[in-house]
Structure 1
Amino acid sequence: MKKPEGPPKQLTTEAKRWWLQLSSEYQIDDEAGLLVLQTSLEAFDRMRDAQKQIKKDGMTSKDRFGQTKSHPLLAVERDARAQLLAGLKALNLDIEPLNDRPGRPPGSKM
């Protein structure tokens, strides 16, 4: 399969930037890899949408009995974040820097 000319059109501008950076930096050009990347970035967009609405509405609300309950989109945000990270892991991308030696990272305290 020929690598697409650019990121999928349905992605947001932020996700398109990630698509361009990741596909270039990690040379993702196979069909399966591009599909996993696209799916991961769709989850990223879903996570961002949920975050915006939660920020607008607040993390909690009162139900009809006056009891505090969590915003329903908190679960959507959590699940979308997990899907994003699972996709990045499936692509074998480094999502945290590697330590060049055993032990705690420099500057960490016990």
Structure 2
Amino acid sequence: MRTKETTAFKVPKHLRKSTQTWVKSVVSDFEMEEHHFKLLLAAAESWDRVCAAREVIDRDGMTYTDRFGQPKARPEIGIERDNKVLLARLLRELALDGVDAPDAPRPPRTADYGSRR
């Protein structure tokens, strides 16, 4: 994406104020097509979910006791984890740091899953 001078994209009100500010700053710094903006919004929503899950975890802890008296991981743990992974993928796809995603170096695979030797 290239640097941009003006924008016509509208930032949704359902995002947190700090996330809205971030989206506006990215939109003002980069030239985007509609599909880039949609990826950016998905990343912003994912970040808001990470923050919301983290607030619940900080308030209520990482586990709860089920009806049988057994400790269980809070559902927010999975929500936070899943949205962090999604956020990283979306940000990589947007390539806001100027590195093209397909040509960007990727870490080597540590295991060769599914292959037979």
Partner of 1:98: none
Residue 51 of structure 1 and its aligned partner are, at CA, apart by 0.8
TM-score, normalised with respect to structure 2? 0.70
Unaligned 5+ runs, structure 2: 1-5, 98-117
CA distance in 2, matches of 1:80, 1:28: 25
Q: Does structure 2 conserve the Cα–Cα contact (< 8 Å) formed by 1:62 and 1:69?
A: yes
Aligned residues: 93
Q: Does structure 2 conserve the Cα–Cα contact (< 8 Å) formed by 1:3 and 1:30?
A: no
TM-score, normalised with respect to structure 1? 0.74
| Deviation by residue 1:4-34 (Cα, 9 ceiling, x = unmatched) | 3542222110111110122223x14211111
Identity of aligned residues (%): 34
Partner of 2:95: 92
CA distance in 1, matches of 2:48, 2:93: 18
Partner of 2:7: 3
Supply the RMSD in Å over aligned alpha carbons. 2.0
CA distance in 2, matches of 1:91, 1:4: 18
**Residues 30, 12 of structure 1: alpha-carbon distance in 2 compared, 3 angstrom cutoff:** same
Residue 61 of structure 1 and its aligned partner are, at CA, apart by 1.4
SS at match of 1:75: helix
Q: Does structure 2 conserve the Cα–Cα contact (< 8 Å) formed by 1:47 and 1:76?
A: yes
